[in-house]
Amino acid sequence: MANIASSSTNGASTSMTREERKVIFASSLGTVFEWYDFYLYGALASIISARFFSGLPTQGAKDVFTLLGFAAGFFVRPFGALVFGRLGDLVGRKYTFLVTIVIMGLSTAVIGFLPSYDSVGVLSPILLISLRLLQGLALGGEYGGAATYVAEHAPHGKRGSYTAWIQITATGGLFLSLLVILACRMSLPKADFEAWGWRIPFLVSLLLLAVSLWIRLQLDESPLFKKMKAEGKTSSSPILESFGNLYNLKFVLLALFGVVAGQAVVWYCGQFYAQIFLKNTLKIDPNTADTLAAVALLFATPFFVVFGSLSDRIGRKKVILAGLALAILTYFPIFRGITHFGNPALEAAMAASPATVTADPAECTWQLNVAGTSKFTSSCDVAKAALVGKSVPYSAVDGGAGSVAQIKIGDTVIDSYDAKAPDAKEKKAAFDAAVADAVKAAGYPAKADDAAINKPALTFLLWVLVIYVTLVYGPIAAMLVEMFPSRIRYTSMSLPYHIGNGWFGGFLPAISLAIVVTTGQMYAGLWYPIIVAAITFVIGLLFVRETKDTEISHDK
């Protein structure tokens, strides 16, 4: 780990130079565009589900597989961190993240040209997921390069505030993607947008790629890297030094489990799962949901720099742990408030006519369809899928061995059926009609009433969720940079960052949705981010030391 300076704050009082502003602007803007590319998929998940996964048997399977396609990009991010982190420590920070942005921009643009499932069948989702994998590899190399590059230009005592601009880029990219999508939705009839207009935001990536390349080609290499290279002190084997050295590996593991994993689930819960909850669970119109989210992001984004700067004064660890603690303690009441203000009719129906599924627990399966080919055919699975598809939460009741599942909504009882039985088609029609009638009679709305939404209150709650994101994310780039020596910094910080965000965070929507589908409880998916955040809080509190006074220009 880099040496700890006594309590020096050299450079802390100096104003930002023109060159430093150029470095921050160029690095941040290019990274905004990369996040824009990466998050278009998530923002357009409902349309992608219909266009690329229409061959799957149920809407629940389509939604889960679409989210797993989203997560595929996150799965390979650690591998991108290894490939490009090594290049960054061997060749240089600047040229490595030039390569990553080209891969990202071209992969995103090609998605805009892909044929749908109806046109080419299973080849369509295969091509889509292949491009998502390329995006994940590129992003795996981008963040570590940009964060390291900015930090190595920053004066001691201001790394938190300088690197916080890199932290803004993830939210900035999401914000930009929402704005572009919203502009396209408003400019086109709904049918046209869903048929072909959704491709436009992906094609815009070509323009953003050109701008990014032009800006980044004007940058010089990091001064610390140039100094190391001139002195012959660069690492000849960054991966081996980073993960084969037990001393450094200890800090890699602490970075992952004591800092990044919790940050990741707070980030993806606040900025992605919240959107899925609004659109899929509460059935709020996508335009309304995107608009409210964009407003919340706009007003919360400055706090990345606020908390990054605060971490320069009071420490990174205190700020990050505060964000984790708030998320752990308040997620459940916040999401209940989102339901209350976003779809009061659903809340009223849940209270007046609660739903139950009575079934043999042995025939109820865990409905996480990783391969997209599993069929959930038992009477229990059929009953659960029918309710979740209509956003009706339910409680599970043990019906005893061998029993056929039953749905009860208010006073109405409906027998389910085995989807593999010879008369399944006839039973399905009657079952679907009975469920639809019971759901309607119980007052469960098919979609949220836009006039009944308390938009100021809902926007405030979304803003609070993003404030938690700024607390945990604003200081994290500086902290990760400070945990590792210069010669292996790009590699060492990139891997835990992308395992944490790519796996713990990236799989959050799919895991949380599967928990909701299986349990029937609309808030049960929150247990995943809460438990992960709690583990990180404890490890961070007990074992991770403060890094704000680290002098990163000196290595042991």
The three-point CA angle 196-199-201 to 5° equals 135
User: What is the C-alpha separation between 57 and 63, in angstroms, rounded?
Assistant: 11
Q: Which of 420, 441, 462 is the last residue of a domain?
A: 441
Same domain, 172 and 275: yes
Same domain, 165 and 236: yes
Query: Could you tell me which of 62, 66, 37, 446 has the C-alpha nearest to residue 207?
Result: 37
Same domain, 504 and 357: no
Residue pair 534/107 in contact (Cβ under 8 Å)? The answer is no
Give the ranges where 269-372 is alpha helix by DSSP (H). 274-276, 286-300, 303-314, 316-342, 344-352
Is residue 231 in a domain? yes
Contacts of 238 (CB under 8 A, 6+ apart): 85, 86, 89, 90, 487, 488, 490, 491, 492
Same domain, 250 and 273: yes
The domain total for the chain is 2
Q: At what angle do helices 527-543 and 508-519 cross, to 10 degrees?
A: 130
Is residue 209 in a domain? yes
Contacts of 35 (CB under 8 A, 6+ apart): 139, 169, 170, 172, 173, 174
Q: Which of 441, 476, 502 is the last residue of a domain?
A: 441
Same domain, 220 and 79: yes
Give the pLDDT score at 295.
92
Q: How many CB atoms lie within 10 A of CB 483?
A: 25
Amino acid (1-letter code) at residue 71: A
Is residue 556 in a domain? no
Same domain, 431 and 462: no
User: What is the C-alpha separation between 219 and 254, in angstroms, rounded?
Assistant: 33
Residue pair 26/218 in contact (Cβ under 8 Å)? The answer is yes
Is residue 306 in a domain? yes
Same domain, 371 and 280: no
Residue pair 394/387 in contact (Cβ under 8 Å)? The answer is yes
| Alpha-carbon distance values, 381 to 57, 387, 418, 509, 516 (Å) | 13, 10, 9, 21, 13
Four-residue CA torsion sign, 322, 505, 455, 444? negative
Q: For the chain, what is the total number of helices (H) and then of strands (E)?
A: 27, 4
Same domain, 369 and 302: no
Give the pLDDT score at 9.
40
pLDDT per residue as tens, the chain (556 positions)? 444 333 334 444 456 677 777 778 877 777 787 778 777 887 788 888 888 887 776 666 677 677 777 777 778 888 888 888 888 788 777 778 788 888 888 988 999 999 988 888 889 888 988 998 998 888 888 777 778 888 888 888 889 999 888 888 877 887 888 889 989 988 999 899 989 999 999 999 899 888 888 877 877 776 767 777 776 766 667 788 878 888 889 999 999 999 999 999 999 999 889 998 999 889 999 889 988 998 998 899 999 999 999 999 999 999 999 999 999 999 999 999 999 999 999 999 999 999 999 998 888 877 655 444 456 788 998 898 888 878 888 988 998 898 999 999 988 999 999 888 888 888 888 999 999 999 999 999 989 999 999 999 999 999 999 999 999 999 999 999 899 888 888 888 888 988 898 889 878 887 888 888 778 889 999 999 999 999 999 999 999 999 998 887 655 4
Residue 505 sits in a domain whose CATH number is 1.20.1250.20
- Among all chains, which residue has been given the structure tokens 């990553």? 100
User: What is the C-alpha separation between 7 and 49, in angstroms, rounded?
Assistant: 54
Q: Which of 381, 411, 441 is the last residue of a domain?
A: 441
Is residue 4 in a domain? no
Same domain, 462 and 534: yes
Give the pLDDT score at 510.
77
- Largest pairwise CA distance in the chain: 79
Residue pair 338/461 in contact (Cβ under 8 Å)? The answer is yes
Helix (H, G, I), strand (E, B) or coil at 480: helix
Give the pLDDT score at 58.
66
Same domain, 399 and 494: no
Same domain, 93 and 201: yes
Give the pLDDT score at 151.
83
Is residue 379 in a domain? yes
Range of the domain at 59: 18-342+450-543
Same domain, 417 and 531: no
